[in-house]
């Protein structure tokens, strides 16, 4: 096989592998995309709406009141959803009350 062709194929292979590594690192530590399943976050988030999940910002600080967060579903009694989308409505020490079906 032509050495020039082999060299070019090797360069392409290195570029593709490097690009895949960069994508995997970004996906694991910086952000990823997901879609909303269910109506629990309406009207803020609608069914099948795309979410841009920023993982990096919480490396710099903790979630705050009213932030929308992604939680790993650890309940064995609910649907087989791996992650849940929820809003922080209280912080440690706060009192939560529901009156007339309103938080």
Within a 10 A sphere around the Cβ of 85, how many other Cβ atoms?
20
Q: What's the gap between Cα 15 and its chain centre?
A: 27
The C-alpha atoms of residue 96 and residue 65 are separated, in whole angstroms, by 13
Q: Is 75 a catalytic residue?
A: no
Q: Which of 7, 14, 34, 86 is catalytic?
A: 86
Q: Is 86 a catalytic residue?
A: yes
Two tokens, residue 30: 């910086």
Q: Which of 7, 34, 40, 57 is catalytic?
A: 40
Give yes or no for a contact between 55 and 29, defined as CB atoms under 8 angstroms apart.
yes
- The residues carrying an active-site annotation are 40, 86
């Amino acid at each position: 096989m032509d050495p020039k062709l082999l060299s070019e194929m090797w360069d392409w292979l290195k570029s593709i592998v490097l690009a895949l590594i960069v994508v995997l690192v970004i996906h694991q530590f910086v952000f990823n995309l997901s879609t909303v399943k269910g109506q629990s976050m309406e009207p803020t988030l609608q069914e099948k709406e795309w979410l841009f999940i920023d993982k990096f910002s919480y490396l710099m600080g903790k979630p705050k009141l009213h932030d929308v967060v992604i939680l790993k579903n650890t309940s064995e009694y609910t649907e087989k959803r791996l992650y849940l989308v929820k809003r922080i409505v209280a912080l440690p020490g706060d009192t939560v009350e529901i009156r007339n079906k309103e938080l």
